[in-house]
Amino acid sequence: MFDVAVIGAGAAGMMAAAVAGQRGLRVVLIDHARRLAEKIRISGGGRCNFTNIGTTPANFISQNPDFCRSALSAYTPRDFLDLIRKHGISWHEKHRGQLFCDESSEDIIDMLRRECDAGKVSWRMPCSVSEILREADAFRLATDQGPIEARRLVLATGGMAIPQLGATDFALGIARQFGLKVVEPRPALVPLTFDPASWAPFSELSGVALEVCVRSKPEGSKATSGRARGAAPAVFLEDLLFTHRGLSGPAILQISSYWNPGETIHIDLAHAQDLERELLDAKPGSRQQLGTVLAGLWPKRLAEQLLATLDAAAPDLATRRLADVPDKMLRRLASRIHDWALMPSGTVGYKKAEVMRGGVDTRGLNQKTMEARSVPGLYFIGEAVDVTGWLGGYNFQWAWASGVACGRALAG
Ligand SMILES: Cc1cc2nc3c(=O)[nH]c(=O)nc-3n(C[C@H](O)[C@H](O)[C@H](O)COP(=O)(O)OP(=O)(O)OC[C@H]3O[C@@H](n4cnc5c(N)ncnc54)[C@H](O)[C@@H]3O)c2cc1C
- Among protein residues, the one whose CA lies closest to atom 39 of ligand 1: 157
Cα 227 to ligand 1 centre (Å): 25
**Pick from 347, 372, 399: which residue ends a domain?**
347
Specify whether 225 is located in the same domain as 314.
yes
**CATH number, domain containing residue 48:** 3.50.50.60
> For residue 381, what are the domain limits?
2-186+356-411
Ligand 1 atom closest to 44 (CA): 8
Question: 10 in ligand 1 pocket by Cβ < 6 Å?
Answer: yes
Specify whether 154 is located in the same domain as 51.
yes
Specify whether 305 is located in the same domain as 400.
no
- Crossing angle for the helix pair 106-118 and 11-22, to the nearest 10 degrees: 30
Specify whether 315 is located in the same domain as 210.
yes
Specify whether 130 is located in the same domain as 174.
yes
Specify whether 147 is located in the same domain as 240.
no
Specify whether 35 is located in the same domain as 65.
yes
Question: 399 in ligand 1 pocket by Cβ < 6 Å?
Answer: yes
CB 55 within 8 A of CB 394: yes
Specify whether 341 is located in the same domain as 401.
no
Cα 151 to ligand 1 centre (Å): 25
Question: 396 in ligand 1 pocket by Cβ < 6 Å?
Answer: yes
Domains: count for the chain? 2
Cα 145 to ligand 1 centre (Å): 23
What is the spatial distance between Cα 73 and Cα 87, in angstroms, rounded to a whole number? 23
Rounded to 5°, angle at Cα 159 from 40 and 128: 85
**Pick from 347, 373, 402: which residue ends a domain?**
347
Question: 143 in ligand 1 pocket by Cβ < 6 Å?
Answer: no
- Among protein residues, the one whose CA lies closest to atom 42 of ligand 1: 32
Q: Are strands 60-61 and 388-389 parallel, antiparallel or unpaired?
A: antiparallel
Cα 396 to ligand 1 centre (Å): 9
Question: 65 in ligand 1 pocket by Cβ < 6 Å?
Answer: no
φ, ψ of residue 291 in degrees (nearest 5): -60, -40
Question: 42 in ligand 1 pocket by Cβ < 6 Å?
Answer: yes
What is the spatial distance between Cα 4 and Cα 21, in angstroms, rounded to a whole number? 9
| pTM for the model | 0.95
Ligand 1 test: best mutation among 43, 164, 402, most atoms within 8 Å of CB? Answer: 43
CA-wise closest residue to 298 among 337, 326, 341: 337
Specify whether 28 is located in the same domain as 112.
yes
Per-residue pLDDT 10s for the chain (412 aa) are: 999 999 999 999 999 999 999 999 999 999 999 999 999 999 999 999 999 999 999 999 999 999 999 999 999 999 999 999 999 999 999 988 999 999 999 999 999 999 999 999 999 999 999 999 999 889 999 999 999 999 999 999 999 999 999 999 999 999 999 999 999 999 999 999 999 998 998 998 999 999 999 999 877 654 443 334 335 679 999 999 999 999 999 999 999 999 999 999 999 999 999 999 999 999 999 999 999 988 887 788 888 888 887 666 677 888 999 999 999 989 988 998 999 999 999 999 999 999 999 999 999 999 999 999 999 999 999 999 999 999 999 999 999 999 999 999 999 8
**Pick from 347, 374, 400: which residue ends a domain?**
347
What is the spatial distance between Cα 407 and Cα 47, in angstroms, rounded to a whole number? 26
Specify whether 332 is located in the same domain as 363.
no
